């Protein structure tokens, strides 16, 4: 089975018509349970994969494969404006959802936070003007709406600097532009958390990313 190109954190491979995702690293089983809980209740609200098979003992889920082009690929092809506006609109839809009954997640706050939101976890059909897949719910929790907005911006600033001038389209789609101080503080908290979870924080790439994020200005 070939490893999927955009599976950064986990071992994600295609198995026939489906996708097999094995959760590796810190809290792998816990992250699998979080994603399973989200996918089990969000299917009629957002375009998310269906759960085909569950192996929590092995930290593994088998999920349906969704159509569409990967958001980061589309940005690299010069489609940043359309991608970011749809990213923002999808976030607005997510944040309008009432917290589903029975969804037991950590954290406190008024909204369901995806936890790794941005074009890196979206599939899109730009011809139809829609998002066809919202992927990777393993970091979901209750929290503040600025978290997902700021992380989508961080992904662009860190991995697609050529598209920084298009970030206004993210905020237009989301219908909100939180103050830079709030967005920047949220980015820094998330990067520090990821650095703390690194197996070797002294040599982790997250240390360099933290130093870069610290000096950003709007």
CATH at 108: 3.90.1200.10
Instruction: Choose one of 39, 64, 89: the last residue of a domain.
Output: 64
Instruction: Mark whether 148 and 167 lie in a shared domain.
Output: yes
| Whether residue 59 sits in one domain with residue 130 | no
Task: Report the Cα 27 to chain-centroid distance in Å.
Answer: 17
Within a domain: 3: no
pTM of the prediction? 0.94
Other beta carbons within 10 Å of 18: 17
The answer to whether residues 54 and 92 belong to one domain is: no
Q: Is residue 201 predicted with pLDDT exceeding 70? A: no
User: What confidence score (pLDDT) does residue 102 get?
Assistant: 79
Burial class (CB in 10 A: 0-12, 13-18, 19+), 155: buried
Q: Are residues 39 and 82 in the same domain?
A: no
Q: Write the pLDDT tens digit of every residue in 3-32.
A: 667 766 788 898 888 999 999 877 888 999
pLDDT in tens, 66-78: 999 999 999 999 9
Domain membership flag for residue 5:
no
Q: Which domain holds residue 169?
A: 69-214
Determine the Cα angle at 115 with ends 85 and 191, to 5°. 100
Residue 203 pLDDT: 66
Count of domains for the chain: 2
CATH of the domain at 35: 3.30.200.20
- Kindly tell me if the per-residue pLDDT of 129 is higher than 80: yes
Reading the block at residue 171, the tokens are 């905020």
Same domain, 84 and 57: no
């Amino acid at each position: 089975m070939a490893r999927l190109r955009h599976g950064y954190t986990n071992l994600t491979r295609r198995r026939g018509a489906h996708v097999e995702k094995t959760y590796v690293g810190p809290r792998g089983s816990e992250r699998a349970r979080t994603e399973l809980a989200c996918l089990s209740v969000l299917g009629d609200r957002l375009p998310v994969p269906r759960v085909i098979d569950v192996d929590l003992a092995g930290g593994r889920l088998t999920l349906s494969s969704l159509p569409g082009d990967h958001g980061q690929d589309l940005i690299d092809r010069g489609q940043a404006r359309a991608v970011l506006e749809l990213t923002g609109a999808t976030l607005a839809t997510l944040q309008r959802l009432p917290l589903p009954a029975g969804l037991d997640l950590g954290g406190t706050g008024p909204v369901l936070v995806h936890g790794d939101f941005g074009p890196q976890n979206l599939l899109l059909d730009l011809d139809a003007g829609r998002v066809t897949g919202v992927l990777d719910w393993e970091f979901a929790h209750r929290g503040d709406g600025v978290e997902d907005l700021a992380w989508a911006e961080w992904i662009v600033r860190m991995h697609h600097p050529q598209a920084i001038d298009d970030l206004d389209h993210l905020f237009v789609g989301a219908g909100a532009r939180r103050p830079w101080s709030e967005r920047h503080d949220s980015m820094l908290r998330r990067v520090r958390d990821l650095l703390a979870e690194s197996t070797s924080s002294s040599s982790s790439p997250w240390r360099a990313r933290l130093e870069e994020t610290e000096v950003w200005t709007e």
